[in-house]
Amino acid sequence: MSTLLSGLARNIESVEVVEVGPRDGLQNESTPLPAQVKVELVDRLAAAGLPAIEAAAFVSPRWVPQMADGAQVMASIRRRPGVVYSALVPNVRGMEAALAAGVDEVVVFSAASESFARRNINCGIAESIQRFEPVAAMAREAGVRLRGSISCALGCPYEGAVPASAVVAVVQRMADLGCHSVDIADTIGVGTAGAVQQVFEAASRVLPLARLAGHFHDTYGQALANVLAALQIGVRSFHASVAGLGGCPYARGATGNLATEDLLYLLHGLGLRTGVDLQAVVDCGDFISGALGRANSSRAARALLAARGAAGCETAGAH
């Protein structure tokens, strides 16, 4: 392990990478994709070794039409033993659909800012937690894992700076609901390393770091620095999106999530185990970028693809 991670985080040897591309990434793509392509993406990501994949969202199709085929996607994927397939649910109706689809984990989502919560789920933070209470009860009864996600934890497109105390309050509410872990999400990618350490340290006073995850967007090019800052204080679960897909339909200007390939390149370079095959994820990113007709946003993937091309040329030249 790198000396960069000595000190508080010295016990970390492996890191969990949660793949959010099929949900957080594809929900924001304007090119409509057939369910079969989404299924192939999820199956390829699982085969690459990703241990947890957000595969669908059971939200209103009026709000996010890209996720309307969640049941079809969940029914068609090849379940790989050991992989956690999760879906976002905003209310009881979504929970019923998620349970019928056989998800392993449901994700309830709110925000650290009132304005973003209203734009995203059409209710305030307190009301969202009330909506999640029956969802949490259903999860307990069904034996399905419950995770919480907090958007705009490092800044809000409508309110600007968000105090760490506002994040902590929502972490506490989600812990009370029974969430086994909570994501601190920088939805618009404005966070910097110091602010990231501050918010995680504050949140860890109500939920241990081992039950918190970092979800960073790269709008200002800070996502990898933010991962490193979080790693240094002991966070060991991070979200990322293959090929850097994504953004957020209710956060204009937010770029994609941190690319999975970039995250893996950093983690493996630090000597941390993820169980994920970076080259296989590069292939997944190439596949989905081609299906969407868009450029691959991962810097590491572009470099690795270029290196493959160069190696191919050298081999060809040798004959």
Query: Which residues are known to be catalytic?
Result: 248
Q: Which of 83, 121, 258, 267 binds ligand HMG (CB under 6 A)?
A: 121
* Choice between 92 and 169, CB closer to ligand HMG: 92
Structure-token pair, residue 79: 């379940």
In the bound complex, what is the minimum distance in angstroms from residue 190's beta carbon to ligand HMG? Answer: 11
Name residues contacting Mg ion, limited to 187-216 (CB under 5 A).
none
* Choice between 97 and 168, CB closer to ligand HMG: 97
**CA-based nearest residue to 81, from 106, 104, 105:** 104
Q: Which of 113, 232, 257, 298 binds Mg ion (CB under 5 A)?
A: 257
**CA-based nearest residue to 281, from 262, 294, 268:** 262
- Contact assessment for residue 239 and residue 182, using Cβ atoms and an 8 Å cutoff: no
Only one of the segments 33-41, 119-127, 161-169, 275-283 lies at the binding site for ligand HMG (rule: CB under 6 A); that segment is 119-127
* Choice between 50 and 305, CB closer to ligand HMG: 50
Binding to Mg ion by residue 262, rule CB under 5 A?
no
Q: Is 104 exposed, middle or buried (0-12, 13-18, 19+ CB in 10 A)?
A: middle
Q: Which of 187, 237, 260, 289 binds ligand HMG (CB under 6 A)?
A: 187
Q: Which of 6, 122, 165, 279 binds ligand HMG (CB under 6 A)?
A: 122
In the bound complex, what is the minimum distance in angstroms from residue 258's beta carbon to ligand HMG? Answer: 10
* 2 HSE (CA, 13 A, CB side): 14
* Choice between 242 and 304, CB closer to ligand HMG: 242
Binding to Mg ion by residue 24, rule CB under 5 A?
yes
Q: Kindly state the DSSP code that residue 14 receives in the 8-state scheme.
A: B
**CA-based nearest residue to 67, from 113, 114, 101, 115:** 101
| Separation between Cα atoms, residue 129 and residue 211, nearest integer Å | 19
Residue 17's SS3 state is strand
Tell me the C-alpha to C-alpha distance, in Å, between residue 251 and each of 53, 92, 119, 199: 23, 25, 9, 21
| Separation between Cα atoms, residue 195 and residue 201, nearest integer Å | 10
Only one of the segments 91-99, 252-260, 264-272, 274-282 lies at the binding site for Mg ion (rule: CB under 5 A); that segment is 252-260
Question: By rule CB under 6 A, what count of residues binds ligand HMG?
Answer: 25
Q: Name the residues that contact ligand HMG, by CB under 6 A.
A: 24, 27, 57-64, 88, 90-91, 93-94, 109, 120-122, 149, 151, 185, 187, 215, 248
